[in-house]
Amino acid sequence: MSPQLDRIGLVFVVLLAAAAIVVPVLSLATAANSPFNIPPYLVQLFGKYLCYAILAVALDLVWGYCGILSLGHGAFFTLGGYAMGMYLMRQIGTRGVYANPILPDFMVFLNWKALPVAWWGFNWFPYAMLMIVLVPGLLALAFGWFAFRSRVTGVYLSIITQAMTFALFKEFFRNDFGFGGNNGLTDFKDLVGFSLQSASTKAALFSASAIALILAYFVARAIIGSKYGKALVAVRDAESRMRFLGYRVENYKLFAFVVSAVMAGVAGALYVPQVGIINPSEFAPANSIEAAIWVAVGGRATLVGAAIGAIAVNFAKTWFTGAFPEYWLYGLGGLFVLVTLFLPRGLLGLLLRPQRETAPTPEAPALAIEEGADP
């Protein structure tokens, strides 16, 4: 990363840390009629934006620095959300409509006699947290293992990631699949004993989302700033040459892809208790495409720009769908075209000074690796 991006990243982290403290204070410690009060619904909305920002940082790690345009990251986000939703459903117990201590309401309604194996253990919070990490990570590992070793790249890789997401989208719609079918999972009551309807819980989830975004940024920044990160950029810019030099390109891609998937899963897990529902529509391929637009709008290969793009686009979406709901998709498409034509470095590019030196050739990163690192 350039010194400019490092400075902007530091400012971004400081602002996030301040928001993690200030927003809950203004929500909980100020009077409801005070001009400084932030209503709980806005805290919840801002928390949702931060979850999207984590997803954008995860996607930027593989797209911006590895050249993998994944149009299936919505799958990892949604799987993390389902893992959290399953834990929240198990916590309802006898407070559900059918008052069944073991089976969620939708299973009772569908005449399920026993809890499916996939649901075992989700009444225990540590197990649910483990699944939030493992399920997206293992899916990414299995998918990447075959895709990268088959040397699938470019648009073909983008297509099969989207096909993976669409397959999950169709499968989770089935009632007999065991995850709520079309309605998904909802009617959550509490998280580790704290009511999800209380203002304090919403404030705590906002702070947790802000902290998770900071951690995601630092993890991605540590990867990019290491020797591994330099090799990753070289793979992006000159993959054939890296193979010729003896590097196991598929291993570099696979590691970044799995880390990115885990980040997306954590984002989905934080998203679900704040919006109160998770259903198969989150798997829709359009959601993954929209995440790529966030990254492009904010600034690809900047991390901070990806987060800013996610927050800015979703803020615009909230306003636009309220004022002109039928024109939102046209507005989003127009924004993407305008940014592509006039802001190729994204919104963050407005803050970055133009580089004086000549842009490096695609071979330059690989040459740097060849001179300074061992395969």
CA dist., res. 303 & res. 217, Å (int): 7
Query: Residue 141 has which token pair?
Result: 């590992």
SS3 190: strand
Asked if 183 and 282 touch (Cβ cutoff 8 Å), the reply is: no
Per-residue confidence (pLDDT) for residue 344, from 0 to 100: 84
CA dist., res. 226 & res. 21, Å (int): 31
CA dist., res. 191 & res. 206, Å (int): 14
Largest distance between two CA atoms of the chain: 69
Q: Which residues contact 142 (CB under 8 A, 6 or more apart)?
A: none
Taking the CB of residue 343, how many other CB atoms lie within 10 A of it? 15
CA-angle at 162, arms to 160 and 166, nearest 5°: 115
Per-residue confidence (pLDDT) for residue 355, from 0 to 100: 57
Question: 195: phi > 0 → left, psi -120 to 50 → alpha, else beta; which?
Answer: beta
CA dist., res. 294 & res. 269, Å (int): 20
Q: How do strand 190-191 and strand 185-186 relate by DSSP bridges?
A: unpaired
Taking the CB of residue 118, how many other CB atoms lie within 10 A of it? 14
Per-residue confidence (pLDDT) for residue 320, from 0 to 100: 86
316-328 burial by CB neighbour count: b if 16+ within 10 A, else e? ebeebeeeeeeeb
Give one DSSP letter per residue of 48-80, joined into a string.
HHHHHHHHHHHHHHHHHHH----S-HHHHHHHH
CA dist., res. 278 & res. 271, Å (int): 9
Question: 192: phi > 0 → left, psi -120 to 50 → alpha, else beta; which?
Answer: left
CA dist., res. 90 & res. 347, Å (int): 43
Taking the CB of residue 336, how many other CB atoms lie within 10 A of it? 18
Q: What is the mean pLDDT of each run of 10 residues along the chain (375 residues)?
A: 87 97 95 92 97 98 95 97 97 91 92 94 96 98 96 94 96 93 94 95 98 98 94 94 93 97 98 97 94 94 95 92 83 85 86 58 47 45
Residue 296 burial by Cβ neighbours in a 10 Å radius (0-12, 13-18, 19+): buried
Per-residue confidence (pLDDT) for residue 358, from 0 to 100: 41
CA dist., res. 142 & res. 264, Å (int): 16
SS3 340: helix
Q: Which residues contact 258 (CB under 8 A, 6 or more apart)?
A: 137, 140, 141, 144
Asked if 288 and 73 touch (Cβ cutoff 8 Å), the reply is: yes
Q: Which residues contact 110 (CB under 8 A, 6 or more apart)?
A: 175, 176
